[in-house]
Chains A and B, each alone.
Chain A
Amino acid sequence: MIALAVLFLVQCEPTLNERTPDSGQADFSSYLAVGNSLTAGYADNALHRDGQQNSFPNILAGQMMQAGGGEFFQPLVNPGVGSNAAGQARLVLNVTIGPDGTPALAPGPAAESGQDIFSRQVEGPFNNMGIPGARSFHLVVPGYGNLNPFFGRMMSDPQATVLGDAMMVQPSFFTLWIGNNDVLGYATSGGTGQGFAEMGDPEAVAGNDITPMNVFSGSIDAIAGTLAGSGAQGAVINIPDVTSIPFFTTVPWNGLVLTPEQAQQLRAGYAAQGVPEPLIPDFQPGQNGFIIADPDSPIGLRMAQQGELILLSVPQDSLRQAGWGSITPIPNQFTLRASQINEVQQATDAFNAKLQEAANAFDLAFVDVNSVLERARTGLVFDGVQLSTVFVQGGVFSLDGVHLTPRGSAVVANEMVEAINAKYGSTLSPVNVSAYQGVQFP
């Protein structure tokens, strides 16, 4: 009887067998990721090895390997604190003691200066061609490596283009996530550059400008055309709205909290400076909009309105101690006023429409990351973990408020898996979001 029982046990193995992902009509044998910092795995305001290893393309490539995917080479930096273009180390969360003596958590550099990631040239070709800082048209500019050290460290030749180097891996499949910097340069600088324009010259586009539509369109057509023209399949990813990004949403527009006396004193202060009564900001007890600079106002300043954005780059000490936002207006480069937000959103919508059009034109999968992050604003749950676009706690965005955490990259990679499976009939497996880290606490 017991011998029989043992026999049954051997035969009664659980029936839940592991699924084997299939490539369907897709060919993942040579996967190429083209894009900017989001593709590179840039995070916490620097390119560092942890971020690279958790880049969404690296995660996606790992899943493709289960379905015929090949090796995925990244231009890895040495382990360390990484560096941004200005030579600063990645941000980490530190415990700081505030002016009133209470401890607080704040991001700060992990080291006095960044690691030297630029002096040593790495040899390609690389499957991850994410170049931090790159705009759409940069990918096709010869000699771009001389302008951008992140490409400079990995270019095949001083006159190389990003796209040309990318094509050296002879992609069978690609992801293209570009266009963020075409808007973000303007947005993160507080709208201090040129707004959205239909026509313009790529030579004349400065760092704080929104890329003109004709330049963006032409670049996307050229890039997608080259990538898909080789016969490769792929996916095009759209760009998120600024209101999904904690860099723009963390500091509240109405964070000026006043007692009745303070409100009274501020009004009196502006009156004493000779500001005419109707133009004196309407300070009230309780929450008030911060005072922001506005060149369109007769007195050069006004109270922020609901929907306007104060950027994460605003010096917190100045807000707390130097009277910024109340006595002194918050300077232009730290705010996005309604009209500037309008420029950004017009550009985002137009660029996303173009990206979708390119996906359709070249018969590629389209990944609507914008709407995923839109949904994440109110919170998403994966594997029992709650995610949101809230700064630090939300778990999706890293400490620079713009780039993804490993967990955020996992969410994005899973969206790509879903879109690729739908387009190509493949059965790539999503990853477990719970296996990836959010912001690390000290």
Chain B
Amino acid sequence: MKKIITVITASLLVLCLTATAVLAGGYQLNLLGQRQIAMGHTGVGMPLDIATISMNPGGLAIIDHNAILLGSSATFINTHYRAQAPSSYVAKTDSPMRTPFSIYASYVTPVENLRAGIGIYTPYGNALRWEEGWKYRFLMQEISLTAIFVQPTLSYRIGDRIGIGAGFIFAYGAVNVQRDLPVDAQDGVTPMVELDGTTTAIGFNVGVHGKITDQFSFGASYRSQIDMEVSGGDADFTVPVSLSGTFPAGNRFDAALPLPAVLSFGLGFRATENLRLNADANLTFWSAYEDLSFEFEQNPETLNSVGLRNFNDRWIFRIGGEFDATERLQLRLGSYYDPSPVDEGYITPETPDVDRFGITGGFGYAFTPRTDINATILLILSSPREQTEQDAIDAGTFGTVPVGEFVTRAWIPGISISHRF
């Protein structure tokens, strides 16, 4: 194990020379279970604990105990921006720490081979605050996006080898966007708009898990697209009195943001009694995110806006492993590659997106045969990415997207506790 850590250490150091860190393809979080995060966020093909409720509902069928699992991560994300040469301008984000969480509970029902469970988790989210008065303050100053999924789930084992599962998703979403308005006030107060809305929506999550041999298992799952449609959100304008006709008080807005569907495949391999290896792939159907439009109740002629997004579907590839160091201690490592769904020309201040390379590690420790904790660290690395004026012109987004370079670094520690009974 020590050797593995050394190898990973060396590769991290090499990466650090040319790259830095970031979080989250688009606004996807992929922080569904701490044990899985530590293994490169794999587990679709090998249900190691009841976080499989979200990752692959089919895997719940082979878990033979009641359990609860509580986990949370803390996101520390810093994005830097540098304007196009020869500008000496740089800006940083001062993003608030967020705590994406997951809560799972499972129940072995009296019905033979039938398991029930519930998951409450946060598969999408975004929190970004640019330094006050930054270059693109008229495009975006601050965004907060929260999506909480509540997913009651049933899973059924067919014979000894196959489990199938399905969950109903009730989703709650909240969005808050703030940006400065390109007008100036005599009283010196910076005119700005704050858009705030919440909504709910429904969806589903289905999966299948199968044991090929005693060593190999596989899984596949599909979580449906959920459209978060904010209707009648609050649009608060802080503007000089003389402009209150253009930016009316008490205005409301409608907007829609898709939380894309995800198709996942996983392969599990029990190499030895003490070593488990996973390989997963996720296809996120980002192409559902074509534009972000805001429609206002009052003065729509002036205020309505449509921003092109044109995201692309993207595969994420993941590997991870878990090694039983002692009877109580498990060590985990993993890695993944998460290419950006955003082409140059469509990079916005709310998702300054880059290709990401994730490196994960962690451990689990069993205090008792029934209770254990998992601790995780996730580092997300990337190279700086540039969006040129020509990219924006070609994409038809000139004037509505920033021009320059972005880089983000993120480190995301997490912890969970589970109890089986």
Which A residues between 248 and 299 are near B, CB-CB below 8 angstroms? none
6 pairs of residues in contact across A and B, judged by CB atoms under 8 Å:
A9-B409, A93-B242, A381-B398, A384-B136, A434-B135, A442-B186
Q: Indicate if the CB atoms of B136 and A8 lie closer than 8 Å.
A: no
Q: Chain B residues near A429 (CB, 8 Å)?
A: 86-89
Closest 10 CB pairs of A and B: A381-B399, A429-B88, A427-B86, A441-B240, A16-B82, A384-B138, A385-B182, A437-B184, A14-B80, A384-B139
Q: Indicate if the CB atoms of B409 and A14 lie closer than 8 Å.
A: yes
A176 interface residue (CB < 8 Å to B): no
Q: A14-B408, A432-B83 are in contact. List 7 more A-B contacts (CB 8 A).
A: A2-B413, A11-B13, A15-B19, A18-B90, A395-B182, A441-B186, A441-B240
In the complex, what's the smallest C-beta–C-beta distance from A429 to chain B, in angstroms? Answer: 4
Mark contacts of A361-391 with chain B using CB atoms, 8 A cut-off: 1 yes-contact digit, 0 otherwise. 0000000000000000000010111100000
Q: Indicate if the CB atoms of B241 and A442 lie closer than 8 Å.
A: yes
Q: Chain B residues near A1 (CB, 8 Å)?
A: 5, 361-363, 377
Contact of B85 (CB < 8 Å), options: A14, A19, A92, A434: A19
Q: Indicate if the CB atoms of B86 and A19 lie closer than 8 Å.
A: yes
B208 interface residue (CB < 8 Å to A): no
Q: Chain B residues near A384 (CB, 8 Å)?
A: 136-139, 182, 399-400, 402
Contact of A383 (CB < 8 Å), options: B88, B136, B186, B379: B136
Q: Chain A residues near B405 (CB, 8 Å)?
A: 16
Which B residues between 216 and 272 are near A, CB-CB below 8 angstroms? 239-243
B299 interface residue (CB < 8 Å to A): no
Contact of B81 (CB < 8 Å), options: A4, A16, A385, A430: A16
In the complex, what's the smallest C-beta–C-beta distance from B62 to chain A, in angstroms? Answer: 30
Mark contacts of B120-158 with chain A using CB atoms, 8 A cut-off: 1 yes-contact digit, 0 otherwise. 000000000000010111110000000000000000000
Q: Chain B residues near A13 (CB, 8 Å)?
A: 20, 409
Which B residues between 377 and 421 are near A, CB-CB below 8 angstroms? 377, 379, 381, 384, 398-400, 402, 405-409, 411, 413
In the complex, what's the smallest C-beta–C-beta distance from A188 to chain B, in angstroms? Answer: 26
Q: Indicate if the CB atoms of A12 and B381 lie closer than 8 Å.
A: yes
Given the known interface contacts A384-B139, A440-B184, the answer about A95 and B379 at a Cβ–Cβ threshold of 8 Å is: no
Q: How many residues of A contact B (CB 8 A)?
A: 43
In the complex, what's the smallest C-beta–C-beta distance from A322 to chain B, in angstroms? Answer: 27
In the complex, what's the smallest C-beta–C-beta distance from A8 to chain B, in angstroms? Answer: 5
Q: Indicate if the CB atoms of A12 and B16 lie closer than 8 Å.
A: yes
Q: Indicate if the CB atoms of B240 and A4 lie closer than 8 Å.
A: no
A5 interface residue (CB < 8 Å to B): yes
Chain B interface residue bracket vs A? 35 or more
Given the known interface contacts A11-B13, A18-B90, A19-B88, the answer about A432 and B411 at a Cβ–Cβ threshold of 8 Å is: no
B9 interface residue (CB < 8 Å to A): yes
Question: In the docked arrangement, what's the CA distance between A66 and B78, Å?
Answer: 27
**B383 nearest CB neighbor, chain A only:** A15
**A427 nearest CB neighbor, chain B only:** B86
Which A residues between 392 and 435 are near B, CB-CB below 8 angstroms? 395, 421, 427-430, 432, 434-435
In the complex, what's the smallest C-beta–C-beta distance from A441 to chain B, in angstroms? Answer: 4
Count of inter-chain pairs, beta carbons less than 8 A: 132
In the complex, what's the smallest C-beta–C-beta distance from B269 to chain A, in angstroms? Answer: 23
In the complex, what's the smallest C-beta–C-beta distance from B37 to chain A, in angstroms? Answer: 13
Q: Chain A residues near B409 (CB, 8 Å)?
A: 9, 12-14
Q: Indicate if the CB atoms of A5 and B242 lie closer than 8 Å.
A: no
**B245 nearest CB neighbor, chain A only:** A103
B183 interface residue (CB < 8 Å to A): yes
Q: Chain B residues near A427 (CB, 8 Å)?
A: 85-86
A119 interface residue (CB < 8 Å to B): no
Q: Indicate if the CB atoms of A14 and B183 lie closer than 8 Å.
A: no
Q: Chain B residues near A206 (CB, 8 Å)?
A: none
Question: In the docked arrangement, what's the CA distance between A439 and B186, Å?
Answer: 9
**A379 nearest CB neighbor, chain B only:** B399
Given the known interface contacts A19-B85, A384-B136, A385-B138, the answer about A93 and B182 at a Cβ–Cβ threshold of 8 Å is: no
Q: Chain B residues near A439 (CB, 8 Å)?
A: 184
A20 interface residue (CB < 8 Å to B): yes
Q: Indicate if the CB atoms of B242 and A441 lie closer than 8 Å.
A: yes
In the complex, what's the smallest C-beta–C-beta distance from A442 to chain B, in angstroms? Answer: 5
Q: Indicate if the CB atoms of A432 and B139 lie closer than 8 Å.
A: no
Q: Indicate if the CB atoms of A105 and B377 lie closer than 8 Å.
A: no
A21 interface residue (CB < 8 Å to B): yes
Question: In the docked arrangement, what's the CA distance between A14 and B90, Å?
Answer: 12
In the complex, what's the smallest C-beta–C-beta distance from A153 to chain B, in angstroms? Answer: 27
In the complex, what's the smallest C-beta–C-beta distance from B215 to chain A, in angstroms? Answer: 28
Question: In the docked arrangement, what's the CA distance between A17 and B86, Å?
Answer: 13
Which one of A105, A383, A384 has the highest number of Cβ atoms from chain B below 10 Å of its Cβ?
A384
Q: Chain A residues near B183 (CB, 8 Å)?
A: 438, 441
Question: In the docked arrangement, what's the CA distance between A429 and B90, Å?
Answer: 11
Which A residues between 83 and 103 are near B, CB-CB below 8 angstroms? 92-93, 95, 103
Q: Chain B residues near A386 (CB, 8 Å)?
A: 182, 399
Question: In the docked arrangement, what's the CA distance between A1 and B241, Å?
Answer: 57
Q: Chain A residues near B137 (CB, 8 Å)?
A: 384, 434
B21 interface residue (CB < 8 Å to A): yes
Mark contacts of B1-42 with chain A using CB atoms, 8 A cut-off: 1 yes-contact digit, 0 otherwise. 000010001001100100111000000000000000000000
Q: Indicate if the CB atoms of B87 and A19 lie closer than 8 Å.
A: yes
Which one of B184, B239, B405 has the highest number of Cβ atoms from chain A below 10 Å of its Cβ?
B184
Q: Chain A residues near B82 (CB, 8 Å)?
A: 16-19
Q: Indicate if the CB atoms of A11 and B184 lie closer than 8 Å.
A: no
**B84 nearest CB neighbor, chain A only:** A430
Q: Chain B residues near A428 (CB, 8 Å)?
A: 86
